[in-house]
Amino acid sequence: MSFLEILILLIVAGICGGIAQALTGYSHGGCIISMVIGFIGALIGKWIAQKLSLPDLFEINIGGHSFPVLWSIIGGAVFTGILNLLSPKRRH
C-alpha cells in the first residue's frame, strides 16, 4: 500500500469511528481514538457479520484491501457501548 492509500484508509476509519462514538455518546479522545475505534469496530463488526451469516453491505476498496464501512460503524458502536458501560462515571 502506498502512503496515500494508508492515509485514505485512516481517514475512512476515523470517520467510521467518529460516527460510532456519536451513536453511543462516547466522546473520550480525539481523532486518533476515532481511527482506533474504526479499526476495532471493523474487526468486531466483520466477526458479528460472519457469525450471523450476514452479507457485506457497504465496503470500500482501498489499495486492493476492502474496508467494511457499515460493519465498522456497527462494531464500533458495540465496542464504544461496552467501553461506556465499563468506564467509571464522572461526577460533576
Section 2-9 average pLDDT: 90
What is the structure's pLDDT at 64? Answer: 86
| Tens digits of residue pLDDT in 23-75 | 988 777 788 989 999 999 999 999 999 999 998 888 899 888 888 899 999 99
**CA–CA gap between residue 10 and residue 55 (Å, rounded):** 24
Q: Would the pLDDT of 76 be above 90?
A: yes
Which three cell numbers mark 68? 467494511
pTM confidence score: 0.85
Q: Would the pLDDT of 87 be above 90?
A: no
Contact criterion met (CB below 8 Å) for 17 and 36 = yes
Contact criterion met (CB below 8 Å) for 34 and 91 = no
Q: What is the dihedral of CA 39, 44, 47, 53, to 10 degrees?
A: -110
* First-to-last C-alpha distance (Å) of the chain: 46
